Homo-oligomer: A and B are copies of this chain.
Amino acid sequence: MTLPIPEFKFTPKLYDGERQVTWCPGCGDYGIIAAVKQALAQLQIPPHAAFFVSGIGCGSKLPDYLKANGYLGLHGRSLPIAQGVKLASHNLKVIATVGDGDAYGIGAGHFIHALRRNSDFTMIVEDNKVYALTKGQYSPTSTRGWVSSTTPDGAIEIEFNPVVMAIAGGATFVARTFSGDPKHMAATFAKAIAHKGFALVDVLQACVIYNHVNTVEWYRPRVYKLDDDANYNPRDYTAAMQKAHEWGDHIPLGVLYVDERPTYEEQVKSLATTPLVKQALTYRKETWDEFRAAFM
């Protein structure tokens, strides 16, 4: 990073990857990736200063289609990797892009603990309420009673409500947006990325192949924007919790909750000065002398 950051204004096109996208025509993920690029451009984050982490699933392919640093890891395991990356180089803008199964199903444990930690990164969940890449099994966010190849009589579990759990668990930024609204997505992603601390954006994502209920058409009349409500205060925990429970005929979009708490990295003493990756790997003689004395 000895080169100066170029001064031209980054455009969304700059983040185009060289790969052919393999999502189905009509998939909500197309809109999501476009909005991600938009947000990066808006925040003027150059590709080399961003680090994307993802899991396995349709949505998790996102970083493969992007020009930016990325690590496409394991199903459900993106958050610990993201936090390792952040601790190693806390100036990188770290963004996890994963599916609902990844985030809240197999990844639930890591999610819960990430909320408590407040590491400074963004988690964008492409929440299509279904396991798409494995061909349509129910997911934790599938509506109760959801019929799939593994739940022919309908899913018995009640849904996992990501925004409720995130707020309850200690997230400092919780938002929801919708793959049918490119502008709202881009704006929400930008806010999340700009937030200092752990930011969750749950994206209501259309899967045209496996989710024939929660379609763009289904969402469109139901969603409304909190951003339009001047009275809504996302810093009010109780109000946020109430909104977070809203679902069905009225589905709030926007920033549901914001809190301020020092980030994890800010509180790690060894990171006070330089990012870890830039620190020297060797030590002065005095340091070793002190060490030796302590064990003699």
| Partner-B contacts on A (CB < 8 A) | 105-110, 112-113, 116-118, 140, 153, 156-161, 164-165, 168-170, 241, 261, 264, 267-269
Contact = CB atoms under 8 A, between A and B. Distances in A.
A261 B168 contact: no
Given A116-B140, A140-B116, A169 B165 contact: yes
Given A158-B170, A158-B261, A112 B113 contact: no
Nearest to A154: B267
6 contacts: A108-B109, A109-B110, A112-B165, A117-B157, A118-B158, A156-B267
Each complex incorporates copies of this chain amounting to 2
Nearest to A165: B168
Contacts of A117: 156-157
Given A109-B109, A156-B264, 6 more contacts: A109-B112, A112-B112, A113-B157, A116-B157, A116-B158, A161-B168
A168 B158 CA distance: 12
B156 A268 contact: yes
Nearest to A168: B168
A145 to B, nearest CB: 10
Nearest to A156: B267
A159 to B, nearest CB: 7
